[in-house]
Amino acid sequence: MLSSLHIRNYVLIDALDVSFPDALIIISGPTGAGKSILLGALGLLSGAKADAAAIAGGAQTCIVEGEFDVKDEGLRRLCLENDLDYDEGHLIIRRTVSESGRSRGFINDSPVPLSLLAEFGSALVDIHSQHDTLLLTDKSYQLSVLDAVAGNGELLAKCGSNCTALREVRLRISALEERIARIRQESDYNTAVYEQLLSAGLQEGQIAELEAEQYQLAHSEQIKELLSAADDLLDATDASDGRQGITSDLSALGRNMDKLVEFIPSFKDLAARVESARIELKDIAEEVEAANERAVSDPARLESIDARLSLLYGLLKRHNCSTEAELIAKRDALQQEVCGSEQLQDELEQLRGQCAALEKEQKEICDGLHAAREKAVPSFVKRILHTLSFMELDRAVFDVRLNPVQPGPSGADQAEFLFSGGGSKPAPVAKCASGGELSRIMLALKELMSRHMNMPTMIFDEIDTGISGSVADHMGSVICEMGTRMQVVAITHLPQVAAKGSAHYLVQKSVEGDRAVSSIKKLSRDERVLELARMLSGAKVTDEALANAKALLD
């Protein structure tokens, strides 16, 4: 139940703190006083879309907080699954909205996403607005009401999960069939491309190596000339002109330095450095000489490299690749396409087997749902007719027709409510029921659901629209009877309904400064008499209206 509601800076409400009993609660007030604002605030606690326009003028944020006392295993489990304190069934749900329009939700002071806030809100508060009678035209809603009364929750959950698994398997089968068909259609082409890439002997980094070797071979004569010149400069002992190379000069310099050491001992380090340079240059000279001997022109090798690079460049361009690694990946993918069709066919057969098993299971579940629904229909119809008769539709005819449809998350049935207010052959309720009749049918459904479900706090927003006189009195009795099993809040303009409540709250609007402000107060018995008299007679309260109001309360 909703034990208390706290609102700050929401539309016309500056500050509101109100407690509610666990019974039938009546909320009344003049049109435009702000009753819908209360519903909007409760909607925020249920995850409704937030808007900065909801913030009262002059404020930066608005806060709506509801305290709930619940004893529900589903909510306890939901708290545990989301690491939220259950606190023996005491839940505090809070929603804040900032000037930017952004909002935050909290459950027992822990921040939660709005999706979770909505999940908790729907389990705690059921708001029935004036327009919710339109749900009676929705066949999925009609089916959900029948299932709720029939207690089909476990079967529906199983049906939904099985339907999801079946849909996923069917999607996988479809994708695999398309893939196999494509492989078969492109088999010859893919095989040719794969064999071409396979015969190319692809290796990562090969193009860079070949390009470097190609460059050297293309400039082999220039390289030979440069190496020969370097060899002569380093070691020219065999030169025809008797010229000495750098290494010979360094050897002579070393001998000279050794003699100088005898006279200048400090030259010993210099002599060592000269010897080190001579050894290093001797190694360089040997490597240059070896490279010079290897450097030969090889036109055949150059031609082979040109042909290889031309092949690799052509493959890169043809397959829109930038590296050998991409070509290798394409080759491996084609290998799976060419060689893996048999494996894919085996996988497809396995999936088809899974699909057949799931379809069989789905049919069994749908058959079970259909049987449960057919079994529930007679008592369902009987109870609805009983309540409708009490609300002065004693000639009404009501029935539920189950039409077969393609199996889905809700089974293979489509429910259709049939109705006649005058005893004639019933027709779909959307086509024949008046506004007042729709209101009574909806209330009868809610009353029946309250007997079979652990329903949250029920809020009726003028469900009695289009109703008056003794019918209103009977509707009030039905709502009152629901209030003995659960917390019910009824927003109403009808005194016959308002008089049934265990507690009566009045929403009023006043002017403070340059703006209107809404407030709510719990009425004493004397104040209830005055409010009922106002509802009976309008702005001018007569003695007759006061007497009638007292009689209604008594």
Report the 3 state secondary structure along 423-471.
Answer: CCCCEEHHHHCCHHHHHHHHHHHHHHHHHHCCCCEEEEECCCCCCCHHH
Q: Is the pLDDT assigned to residue 516 strictly greater than 70?
A: yes
Structure tokens, 66: 């509801």
Residue pLDDT, tens place only, 179-228: 888 777 666 677 778 778 888 888 888 888 888 878 878 887 888 888 77
Whether the Cβ atoms of residue 472 and residue 464 lie closer than 8 Å to each other: yes
Is the pLDDT at 236 greater than 70? The verdict is no
Report the pLDDT averaged over residues 289-295. Answer: 77
3-state per-residue secondary structure call for 78-126: HHHHCCCCCHHHEEEEEEEEECCCCEEEEECCEEECHHHHHHHHHHHEE
Distance CA 278, CA 40 (A): 96
Task: State the DSSP code for 541.
Answer: -
Looking at per-residue pLDDT, the higher value among 258 and 360 belongs to: 360
pLDDT of residue 239 exceeding 60, the answer is no
- The mean pLDDT of 363-377, rounded to a whole number, is 95
Each residue of 391-402: pLDDT tens digit?
A: 888 899 999 999
pLDDT-derived band at 34 (thresholds 50, 70, 90) equals: confident
Whole-angstrom distance, CA of residue 104 vs CA of residue 114: 7
Q: Which residue has the tokens 């295993």?
A: 73
Q: What is the rounded radius of gyration, in angstroms, for the C-alpha atoms of the chain?
A: 45
* Backbone φ and ψ of 93, nearest 5°: -110, 130
State what percent of residues in the chain have pLDDT above 90.
22
Query: How many helices, marked H, and strands, marked E, lie in the chain?
Result: 19, 15
Q: 96-135 in b/e burial notation, b at 16+ Cβ within 10 A?
A: bbeeeeebbbbbeeeebebebbbbbbebbbbbbbbebbeb
CA distance 245 to 278: 11
Does 136 or 541 have the greater pLDDT score? 541
Give residue-wise pLDDT tens across range 73-130: 778 888 888 888 877 778 899 999 988 888 899 988 899 998 888 888 888 888 877 5
Q: Which residue has the higher pLDDT, 333 or 393?
A: 393
Q: What is the mean pLDDT of residues 307-314?
A: 85
Question: Tokens in use for 439?
Answer: 């209101």
**Which tens digit of pLDDT belongs to each residue from 464-507?**
666 667 787 788 888 888 888 888 888 888 888 888 888 999 98
Nearest to 550 by CA among 529, 523, 531, 530: 529
pLDDT, averaged across the chain: 84
pLDDT at 240 over 60: no
Q: Rounded CA gap, 14 and 37, in Å?
A: 12
pLDDT recorded at residue 293? 75
pTM value surpassing 0.85:
no
pLDDT at position 79 is 85
Structure confidence at residue 324 as a pLDDT band (50, 70, 90): confident
Residues 220-249, mean pLDDT to the nearest whole number = 73
Q: What is the structure's pLDDT at 133?
A: 59
Quote the pLDDT of residue 433.
80
**Band of pLDDT at residue 368, cut at 50, 70 and 90:** very high
Confidence of residue 384 (pLDDT cuts 50, 70, 90): very high
